[in-house]
A and B are shown apart, each in its own frame.
Chain A
């Protein structure tokens, strides 16, 4: 079974540019999550999709971040325009099921550097 995949693995952009990150969850997993780890701090939750619907987007830092999951399969996270403080590693995770605690499986992350 293929794991969670993310693309690209690294991205270096200038302040003010736009970047789009992609996540392909494990096949059949309805739940998809985005997390971010900034400057060696803790991994922080950004948002949670159940199929194509945003279940919880309380962790999105501001309106420069836009996440989509059209069709309930892969998801994209767009940062526009990027700022220096957006640098970090963006992780995607997925889990199956619709209730209770479900183990989340993480992708390798996208390392974003904004210069």
Chain B
């Protein structure tokens, strides 16, 4: 099956710093999504990307859909304590009826005061 390689696996940063994480795939996805999961909660959608090359922002978050459709990155600027959590990338292949999401293994973000 399809697999996403997400890196880094974990990050420790100081409050106020910028952070970047990315996902790569050996196969093409038509949609890339970025989710954040807080402890005890389900993943919450942060950003959805629908076109190759698309760059989308949501507040301090910026994500890009790679031009090859095989990768995506997420940047968080000026991190704050509430950014702590696990960030997941997910790809979606819309061929036919396949609308399942393929997830990366997650990036655990810790923001130090």
Contact = CB atoms under 8 A, between A and B. Distances in A.
A105 B92 CA distance: 14
Contacts of A81: none
Contact of A101 (B31, B40, B88, B106): B31
Interface in A77-115: 91, 93, 95, 100-109
B73 interface: no
B104 A106 contact: no
Contacts of A105: 45
B42 A42 contact: no
Please indicate which of the listed interface residues A6, A104, A107, A108 has the most CB atoms of chain B within 10 Å of its own CB. Answer: A104
Given A101-B92, A104-B45, A45 B105 contact: no
B82 interface: no
A43 B104 CA distance: 8
A103 B92 CA distance: 10
A33 interface: yes
B94 interface: yes
A19 to B, nearest CB: 19
B49 to A, nearest CB: 10
Given A42-B106, A102-B99, 6 more contacts: A44-B103, A45-B102, A48-B100, A59-B100, A93-B42, A101-B94
A14 interface: no
Given A33-B100, A44-B103, A106 B42 contact: yes
B99 A101 contact: yes
A92 B59 CA distance: 27
A26 interface: no
A91 B42 contact: yes
Contacts of B44: 106
A42 B4 contact: yes
Given A42-B4, A42-B105, A108 B100 contact: no
Q: Which of B41, B94, B97, B100 has the most CB of A within 10 A?
A: B100
